[in-house]
């Protein structure tokens, strides 16, 4: 399986990012260019996700986090939202059958309360399977009804409630403790954030976690994004000088 990795030979295996996060954007424009409904773009985008997740696992990354549906995406038509949820359902059904065989862990980031009970039940099942898998296995995180601001607010509310109950003290709170209240608890911050489709913004993605992430943008629309594009993004990342506020030695 490792034979299909690093297609362009530009990725240095010794300096791989541990965690890549992707804003899977451009499905609608991809469909429009072809005279297809937006939902056809989401279907093609779901295929790209399958390919890229497999490729990330085979490359040897530890984590891939993808933005699938934001807290703002409810503004779209019921038809479009329904199509995205339907694709997620299909993916989860597949995942339930294959995660243990392929050693792929799956987690959700986001507020699952407004998600349909059927989809939530499937996510609960993938969570249980993930609990049984080896924590060292590759992990994909799907951001569903996710917003960086919403994630921070939910964390603050939970911490404040524990303070009010006398279980925590405000002065205990530091960056490490605060991180443990986020959906990404226990997961290292993304080293690299990729946004396809030419947009140069975060759109409420991983606001806390992106403090020192490297950014990579490409005009390629998500359904056209492939293994060679990911190699290009990783190679660009490997040429960056990450200083974290320090001075280069
Ligand atoms: C990303 O593609 C998928 C979601 C936001 C759910 P878009 O649907 O935003 O595609 P564009 O940006 O309209 O092309
Ligand atoms: C961000 O894309 C959300 C996802 C990819 C799920 P959007 O298409 O919703 O973002 P904007 O509206 O262009 O900022
Ligand atoms: Mg978009």
* Ligand 2 centroid – CA 171 distance (Å): 36
pLDDT tens for 30-64 read 999 999 999 999 999 999 999 999 999 999 999 99
Determine whether 62 is an active site residue.
no
Backbone angles phi, psi at 143, to 5 degrees: -90, 110
| Phi-psi map region of 202: left, alpha, beta (phi>0 left; psi -120 to 50 alpha) | alpha
Q: What pTM does this model have?
A: 0.97
First to last CA, the chain: 38
CATH of domain 16-147+189-238: 3.40.1180.10
Task: Outline where the chain has alpha helix (H).
Answer: 27-33, 38-59, 78-102, 117-132, 148-164, 175-179, 227-238
Q: Is 226 exposed, middle or buried (0-12, 13-18, 19+ CB in 10 A)?
A: middle
Q: Would you place residue 4 in the very low, low, confident or very high pLDDT band (cuts 50, 70, 90)? A: low
* Ligand 2 centroid – CA 14 distance (Å): 33
Q: Would you place residue 8 in the very low, low, confident or very high pLDDT band (cuts 50, 70, 90)? A: low
Neighbour tally for 144: CB within 10 Å: 24
Return the minimum-mean-pLDDT range out of 9-13, 17-21, 92-96, 125-129.
9-13
Residues with C-beta atoms within 5 A of ion ligand 3: 25
Contacts of 93 by beta carbon, 8 Å cutoff, 6+ apart: 122
Q: Would you place residue 111 in the very low, low, confident or very high pLDDT band (cuts 50, 70, 90)? A: very high
Query: How many alpha carbons fall within 13 Å on the CB side of residue 82?
Result: 3
Pocket test for ligand 1, best of 25, 52, 68 (most atoms within 8 A of CB): 25
Domain range annotation of the chain: 16-147+189-238
In the chain, what are the helix, strand and coil shares in percent, each to the nearest 5?
50, 15, 40
Backbone angles phi, psi at 212, to 5 degrees: -125, 25
* Ligand 1 centroid – CA 239 distance (Å): 29
């Amino acid at each position: 399986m490792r034979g299909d990795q690093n297609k362009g030979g530009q990725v240095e295996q010794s300096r791989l990012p541990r965690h890549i996060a992707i804003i899977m954007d451009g499905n609608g424009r991809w469909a429009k260019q072809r005279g297809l409904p937006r939902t056809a773009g989401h279907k093609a985008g779901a295929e790209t996700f399958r390919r890229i997740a497999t490729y990330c696992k085979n490359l040897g990354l530890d984590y891939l986090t993808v933005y699938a549906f934001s807290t703002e995406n409810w503004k779209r038509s019921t038809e479009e939202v329904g199509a995205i949820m339907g694709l997620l359902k299909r993916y989860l059904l597949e995942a339930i059958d294959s995660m243990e065989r392929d050693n792929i862990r799956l987690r959700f980031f986001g507020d699952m309360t407004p998600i349909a009970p059927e989809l939530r039940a499937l996510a609960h099942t993938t969570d249980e399977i993930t609990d049984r898998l080896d924590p060292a296995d590759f992990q994909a995180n799907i951001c569903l009804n996710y917003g960086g601001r919403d994630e921070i607010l939910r964390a603050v509310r939970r911490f404040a409630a524990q303070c009010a109950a006398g279980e925590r003290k405000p002065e205990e709170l530091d960056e490490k403790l605060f991180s443990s209240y986020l959906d990404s608890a226990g997961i290292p911050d993304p080293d690299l954030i990729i946004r396809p489709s030419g947009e140069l913004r975060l759109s409420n993605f991983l606001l806390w976690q992106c403090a020192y992430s490297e950014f990579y943008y490409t005009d390629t629309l998500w359904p056209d994004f492939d293994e060679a594009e990911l190699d290009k993004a990783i190679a660009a990342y490997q040429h960056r000088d990450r200083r974290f506020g320090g001075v280069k030695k």
